[in-house]
Amino acid sequence: MQRSTKKKSKQNSDREASAGHIENNGQANRSTGAVTLDDVAKLADVSPITVSRALNYPEKVAAKTLAKINAAITRTGYVPNLLAGGLASRRSRLIAAIIPSMANSIFAEKVRSFSEQLRKAGYQILLGETGFSEEQEESLVSAVLSRKPDGILLTGINHTPSCRRLLVAANIPVVETWDLTPTPLDVVIGFSHQDIGRAVAEYLYKRNRYRRFGIVSATDHRALIRQKAYIETLAGYGIGDVAVSNVPAPTTFRLGRQGLAQLIDHGFGKGAIFFSSDTLAQGAMAEAQARNLSIPDDLALVGLGDQPYAAYTHPALTTVRFDLTGIGEQAARALLARINNEAVSNKVVDIGFTIVDRETT
């Protein structure tokens, strides 16, 4: 492309600047007409690569030059084209995050803290929702990989074989979250759903005050693992008749009411119930109130997730807490480390969980 010679007079470049319009070079081209890095370079009377450096490695450019360039950027209203930048540098500065559902604020919080960390490092997030389906996850991953993200956050450890193949072929850092496995694709940060099911069963059993036990649970992969562990642990204590009500994911307030209603209508009297989300438990509280059942005297409730509201329901909800914000932050840090080729000390990170003992049990 024709560029004015380097030693163009200062006056000339100033005149161009005050003209305040973008030259088209008079060439027939496919340009969008938008301000490009070349336009800025001409106006600042430097080469394009220097503008590129000013943007990406300002410390490598002389202060004077930097000032000229910044003035030109302001004057033109230049907005970099990251499609072009990403193509040339093979770094898109884009990170994909795949979650089951935005409606579930538990995932929303994970993504929020994840995004926040990565934004600070100059990355943007491409978000996808699977609706708890592995097939949907596969098609999302495939779509998202075509943007050449520098890394990807997954929820869960179960993926279709083709999805795994895509991920491996993409050859980018992958962080799986929300579960644990000894054989992650790359790094996994989460907690054991089996341990949670067992721990809640133990917690309720050892209180020694409930005659009956029940569970209202979604049917997604992880919730079912918790359910199985819960039932088996209780069976180990000699309790063979755990009442079960299953509902489709994602869980809602309404499904919580329905789930409890179903249990009660099928003869569940007084007892303790484990819900697969705080939302379900909250819905059940409304149902209990509507039926004039007292919590925790008639019905003891345990939720999952320790949502911000859980401490403020009336009575306050006993629930299982895991560090949502921590998962997001650690996932971001792990991804960043892998992108920068730093060593990742731990491929499998168990962030654990605690049972928060409040007033519904």
Partner DNA sequence: GTGAAAGCGCTAACAT
Partner DNA sequence: ATGTTAGCGCTTTCAC
- Looking at residues 122 to 161 of the shown chain, list those that interact with a copy of itself (rule: CB under 8 A): 124-127, 129, 142-148
Report, in angstroms and rounded to the nearest whole number, the Rg of the chain calculated over CA atoms.
Answer: 28
Shortest spacing between CB 125 and DNA, in angstroms: 20
Q: Alpha-carbon distance 259 to 287, whole Å?
A: 9
Look at residue 115 and give the partner it binds from a copy of itself, DNA, none, a contact being a CB closer than 5 to 8 Å depending on partner kind. Answer: a copy of itself
Q: Alpha-carbon distance 63 to 20, whole Å?
A: 24
Shortest spacing between CB 102 and a copy of itself, in angstroms: 5
How far does the chain reach from its first CA to its final CA, in angstroms?
A: 74
Candidate ranges 45-53, 82-90, 186-194, 333-341; the one touching a copy of itself (CB under 8 A): 82-90
Please, which residues have CB within 8 angstroms of residue 196's CB and are 6 or more apart in sequence? 226, 229, 304, 320, 353
* Residue closer to DNA (CB basis): 5 or 345: 5
Please, which residues have CB within 8 angstroms of residue 236's CB and are 6 or more apart in sequence? none
The number of residues making up the chain comes to 361
Q: Binding marks (x or -) toward a copy of itself, 252..291, rule CB under 8 A?
A: xxx--x-------------------------x--xx-xx-
* Residue closer to DNA (CB basis): 3 or 207: 3
Shortest spacing between CB 44 and DNA, in angstroms: 9
Shortest spacing between CB 142 and DNA, in angstroms: 13
- Adjacent-strand bridge partners of 350: 190
Is residue 230 classed as helix, strand or coil in its secondary structure?
A: helix
Look at residue 64 and give the partner it binds from a copy of itself, DNA, none, a contact being a CB closer than 5 to 8 Å depending on partner kind. Answer: DNA
Q: Alpha-carbon distance 175 to 322, whole Å?
A: 18
Q: Binding marks (x or -) toward a copy of itself, 236..255, rule CB under 8 A?
A: ----------------xxx-
Residues that bind DNA (CB under 7 A): 1, 6, 27, 29-32, 34, 36-38, 46-53, 55-56, 60-62, 64-65, 78, 80-81, 84-85, 87-91
DSSP for 2-65?
----TT--HHHHHHHHHHT----TT------SS--HHHHHHHHTS-HHHHHHHHH-GGGS-HHH
With beta carbons less than 8 A apart as the criterion, state whether 173 and 123 touch: no
Look at residue 108 and give the partner it binds from a copy of itself, DNA, none, a contact being a CB closer than 5 to 8 Å depending on partner kind. Answer: a copy of itself
Q: Alpha-carbon distance 240 to 180, whole Å?
A: 28
Which residues contact a copy of itself (rule: CB under 8 A)? 30, 32-35, 77, 79-84, 86-87, 90, 92, 94, 102-103, 105, 108-109, 111-112, 115, 124-127, 129, 142-148, 165-166, 169-171, 252-254, 257, 283, 286-287, 289-290, 308-309, 311-314
